[in-house]
Amino acid sequence: MKANHFYVTTPIYYVNDVPHIGHAYTTMLADVLARYHRLLDMPTFFLTGTDEHGQKVHNAASEAGITAQEQADRTVVRFLEAWKKLGIAYDDFIRTTEKRHTAVVQDILKDLYDRDEIYRGEYEGWYCVSEERFYTEKELVDGKSPEGKPVERIVEVNYFFRMGNYQEWLIDYIDKHPEFIQPDFRRNETLGFLKKPLGDLCISRPKTRLPWGIDLPWDSDYVCYVWFDALVNYISAVGYLRDDDQFNRWWPASYHLIGKDILTTHTVYWPTMLKAMGIALPQTIFAHGWWLVGGEKMSKSVGNVTDPMEIMDLYGIDALRYYLMAEMTLGQDATFTEGKFIKRYNSDLANDLGNLVSRVLKMIARNAGGAIPRPGEAGDAENELRAQTLGAVEAMEEHLRGMSLDRGIGRAIDAVRAANRYFDQMQPWKLAREGDTERLGTVLYNSAECLRIVSGLLYPVIPTKMTELRRSLGLRDDEIEPHLASLREWGGLEPGRVLGSVQALFPRIEKPKEAKPGAAAVPKPKEKKMPTEEPEAEIIDIDTFAKVQLKIAKILRAERVPKADRLLRMDITLGDEERQIVAGIAEHYAPEDLVGKSIVVVANLKKAKLRGLESHGMLLAASGAGKVRLLTLDEELPPGSSVS
Binding site for ligand MSP (CB under 6 A): 11-14, 22-23, 25-26, 51, 230-231, 233, 258-259, 261-262, 290-291, 297-299
Nearer to ligand MSP, 189 or 261 (CB): 261
Q: How far is the CB of 254 from ligand MSP (least distance, A)?
A: 16
Q: How far is the CB of 205 from ligand MSP (least distance, A)?
A: 16
Residue 620: exposure state from Cβ atoms within 10 A (0-12, 13-18, ≥19): middle
At 601, which helix (H) or strand (E)? strand 598-602
Q: How far is the CB of 19 from ligand MSP (least distance, A)?
A: 9
Residues 127/265, Cβ–Cβ less than 8 Å: no
Nearer to ligand MSP, 233 or 442 (CB): 233
Rounded Cα distance between 236 and 379, Å, is 57
Q: How far is the CB of 564 from ligand MSP (least distance, A)?
A: 35
Length of the chain measured in residues: 644
Nearer to ligand MSP, 51 or 318 (CB): 51
Q: How far is the CB of 334 from ligand MSP (least distance, A)?
A: 8
Alpha-carbon dihedral angle through residues 105, 110, 112, 114, given to the nearest 10 degrees: 180
Q: How far is the CB of 434 from ligand MSP (least distance, A)?
A: 55
Q: Identify the CA nearest to 391 among candidates 409, 412, 375.
A: 412
Q: Other CB atoms closer than 10 Å to residue 533's CB: what's the count?
A: 15
* Preceding omega of 183 cis (within 30 degrees of 0): yes
Residues 556/545, Cβ–Cβ less than 8 Å: no
- In the chain, DSSP finds a helix count (H) and a strand count (E) of 24, 27
Nearer to ligand MSP, 231 or 273 (CB): 231
Residues 486/456, Cβ–Cβ less than 8 Å: yes
Q: How far is the CB of 15 from ligand MSP (least distance, A)?
A: 8
Q: Identify the CA nearest to 376 among candidates 431, 426, 446, 429.
A: 446
- DSSP states of 211-257: --SPEETTEEEEEE-HHHHHTTHHHHTTTTTT-HHHHHHHPSPSEEE
Nearer to ligand MSP, 404 or 623 (CB): 404
Rounded Cα distance between 102 and 207, Å, is 17
Nearer to ligand MSP, 261 or 327 (CB): 261
Residue 529: exposure state from Cβ atoms within 10 A (0-12, 13-18, ≥19): exposed
Residue closest to ligand MSP, measured at CB: 22
Backbone angles phi, psi at 106, to 5 degrees: -65, -40
Nearer to ligand MSP, 94 or 567 (CB): 94
Nearer to ligand MSP, 291 or 422 (CB): 291
Residues 57/68, Cβ–Cβ less than 8 Å: yes
Nearer to ligand MSP, 302 or 504 (CB): 302
Q: How far is the CB of 290 from ligand MSP (least distance, A)?
A: 4
Nearer to ligand MSP, 287 or 558 (CB): 287
Q: How far is the CB of 277 from ligand MSP (least distance, A)?
A: 16
Q: How far is the CB of 27 from ligand MSP (least distance, A)?
A: 8
